[in-house]
């Protein structure tokens, strides 16, 4: 079950990864088309400039108008083991089928609401079909069914008269027929499911400790790869709240954020909701990426052995910039997670506790990620964000994390970056010699014959092994990995940070060689 949940969490990264950069463009165009921005920068009022910006805003907006479809394709791609292309095709077919079947159910039961009232009962028009606003959940269901049907039926043989419909043509048909009973069943359980999510949401939505509980859980789940699942639950389901904005119902924190941040802006009364929404998104994440991670990196550098500091500086700077510029914190976190798990627990607790003041600082900096670019776009370029309050809280976080980590590293003589005995330079990753990195990894894992399956998430190779006793962990570390560990028997995680996609491709290429 844990493996399945981890794989599911990784599958969510694809649509989220697409949304993040497009969201930055959407955010920038949204900011530059707001009336308050035009008043401050006169040339923005030029009709041609505004036409270009509004066009870009419309183009990027299509992504957020079709989030469920993105999740259907992303989950199908991530969860299927065989023909991922067929799985994605099946997911799209399955999602559209789901929308229509729910529409049929609502029609037959007399539950189809009028246009004026459908938002109040959780209905809306999706891809031209009036249906329940299942949002990302509908796409996820379609993606899971498509992945299952693809893996189970892609080799199905039918009698000769129907042979044409066998093989790869069968999974889409199977998905279609599976989605019919599912579509009839969902409206029945949807009310119960909604009430359950609303029941548990006060834990994370509590006005005092909720945001702290969320960010503690988010950090604590990172070693298990489940933090993406938690984030998605609050972002896209009723567990993140149901918001009425301009007479329209928005389910989940991110859907409400998109409306407030991109469509309405700081001049709208709905902007008063921004601090309570954004603290679960960029505002909370920025405390980690822009302040806590640099503080931990500085503590590691100052506690590094004198002879190692020159080499350690490059490694520490890389993992810090990976978070600062790319919102990927795992390379730094994994650098101390397994040598000092108690310190990681303290780190997770501090991340939760030190985020709670966001409740009282009225910080209104969106969006999903927590990079310096997001701070510039959504913090400095928008009005009424109170970005200075975030900086002040961030500096307090910096000081606390720096001294806690510096004390712990020295007190318990932890082998953090720069404190390893016999530290050697590894330039393979820095020089982008991915084929050589792959060779070192495969040799350290006991050769190609010892590998059953290779996968990766945003920062880690995840490899199933036949016999983990054949693994030379120190040899694998020699590839330049910032962390190597076994979350379970015969399954290894190798942390490469932002290089992981390129390393994965190189490993796949090596595996194909005779």
What is the per-residue pLDDT across 251-264, written as a single tens digit (0 to 9) for each? Answer: 889 999 999 998 88
Same domain, 6 and 50: yes
Q: Which domain holds residue 305?
A: 278-411
Same domain, 96 and 56: yes
Residue at 263 is within a domain:
yes
Domain boundary among 251, 273, 295: 273
pLDDT at residue 137 in the model:
80
Contact criterion met (CB below 8 Å) for 76 and 87: yes
Q: How far apart are the first and last CA of the chain?
A: 35
Domain boundary among 149, 168, 196: 196
Same domain, 319 and 451: no
Contact criterion met (CB below 8 Å) for 399 and 313: no
Same domain, 391 and 448: no
Residues 6+ apart with CB under 8 A from 412: 340, 343
Same domain, 443 and 405: no
457 is annotated as an active-site residue: yes
Residue at 201 is within a domain:
no
In whole angstroms, what is the distance from residue 38 CA to residue 53 CA?
A: 12
pTM of the model: 0.67
Residue at 92 is within a domain:
yes
Neighbouring C-beta atoms of residue 16, cutoff 10 Å: 21
Q: In angstroms, what CA-CA distances link 340 with 189, 227, 416?
A: 44, 20, 9
Total of domains in the chain: 4
Structure token pair of residue 321? 């910039």
Same domain, 370 and 336: yes
At 462 the three-state DSSP class reads strand
Residue at 82 is within a domain:
yes
Look up the CATH number of the domain holding residue 454. Answer: 3.30.1360.60
Same domain, 347 and 403: yes
Same domain, 287 and 269: no
pLDDT at residue 323 in the model:
86
Same domain, 71 and 191: yes
Same domain, 269 and 283: no
Same domain, 159 and 38: yes
Contact criterion met (CB below 8 Å) for 418 and 309: yes
pLDDT at residue 423 in the model:
47
Same domain, 239 and 260: yes
Active-site residue (options: 132, 457, 458, 507) = 457
Residue at 373 is within a domain:
yes
Residue at 118 is within a domain:
yes
Residue at 487 is within a domain:
yes
Low-confidence ranges of the chain (pLDDT < 50): 422-423
Contact criterion met (CB below 8 Å) for 458 and 13: yes
pLDDT at residue 197 in the model:
61
Domain boundary among 255, 273, 291: 273
Residue at 420 is within a domain:
no
């Amino acid at each position: 079950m844990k493996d399945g949940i981890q794989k599911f969490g990784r599958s969510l990264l694809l649509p989220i990864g697409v949304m993040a950069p497009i969201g930055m463009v959407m955010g920038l165009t949204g900011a530059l088309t707001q009336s308050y921005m035009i008043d401050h920068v006169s040339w923005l009022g030029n009709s041609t400039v505004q036409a270009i910006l509004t066009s870009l805003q419309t183009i990027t907006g299509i992504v957020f108008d079709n989030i469920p479809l993105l999740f259907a394709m992303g989950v199908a791609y991530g969860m299927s083991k065989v023909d991922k292309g067929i799985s994605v095709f099946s997911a799209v077919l399955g999602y559209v089928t789901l929308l229509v079947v729910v529409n049929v159910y609502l029609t037959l039961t007399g539950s189809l609401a009028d246009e004026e009232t459908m938002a109040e009962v959780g209905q809306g028009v999706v891809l031209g079909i009036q249906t329940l606003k299942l949002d990302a959940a509908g796409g996820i269901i379609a993606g899971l069914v498509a992945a299952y049907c693809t893996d189970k039926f892609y080799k199905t043989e039918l009698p000769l008269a129907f042979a044409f419909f066998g093989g790869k043509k069968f999974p889409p048909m199977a998905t279609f027929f599976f989605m019919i009973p599912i579509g009839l069943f969902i409206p029945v359980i949807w009310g119960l499911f909604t009430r359950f999510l609303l029941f548990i949401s006060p834990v994370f939505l509590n006005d005092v400790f909720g945001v702290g509980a969320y960010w503690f859980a988010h950090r604590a789940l990172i070693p298990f790869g489940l933090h993406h699942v938690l984030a998605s639950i609050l972002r896209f389901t009723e567990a993140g709240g149901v918001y009425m904005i301009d007479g329209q119902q928005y389910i989940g924190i991110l859907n409400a954020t998109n409306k407030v941040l991109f469509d309405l802006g700081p001049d709208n009364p709905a902007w008063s909701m921004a601090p309570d929404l954004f603290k679960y998104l960029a505002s909370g994440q920025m405390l980690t990426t822009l302040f806590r991670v640099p503080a931990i990196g500085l503590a590691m550098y100052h506690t590094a052995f004198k002879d190692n500091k020159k080499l350690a500086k490059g490694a520490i700077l890389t993992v810090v910039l990976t978070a600062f510029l790319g919102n990927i914190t795992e390379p730094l976190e994994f650098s101390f997670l397994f040598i000092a798990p108690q310190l990681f627990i303290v780190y997770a607790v501090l991340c939760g506790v030190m985020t709670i003041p966001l409740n009282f600082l009225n910080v209104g900096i969106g969006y999903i990620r927590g990079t310096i670019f997001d701070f510039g776009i959504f913090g400095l370029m928008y009005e009424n964000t109170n970005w200075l309050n975030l900086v002040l809280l961030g500096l307090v976080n910096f000081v606390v994390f720096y001294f806690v980590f510096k004390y712990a590293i020295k007190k318990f003589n932890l082998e953090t970056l720069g404190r390893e005995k016999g530290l050697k330079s590894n330039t393979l990753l820095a020089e982008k010699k991915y084929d050589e990195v792959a060779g070192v990894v495969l040799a350290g894992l006991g050769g190609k014959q010892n590998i059953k399956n290779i996968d990766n998430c945003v920062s880690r190779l995840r490899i199933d092994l036949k016999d983990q006793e054949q693994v030379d962990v120190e040899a694998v570390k020699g590839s330049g990995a910032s962390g190597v560990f076994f979350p379970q028997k015969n399954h290894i995680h190798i942390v490469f940070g932002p290089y992981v996609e390129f390393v994965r491709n190189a490993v796949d290429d090596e595996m194909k060689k005779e």
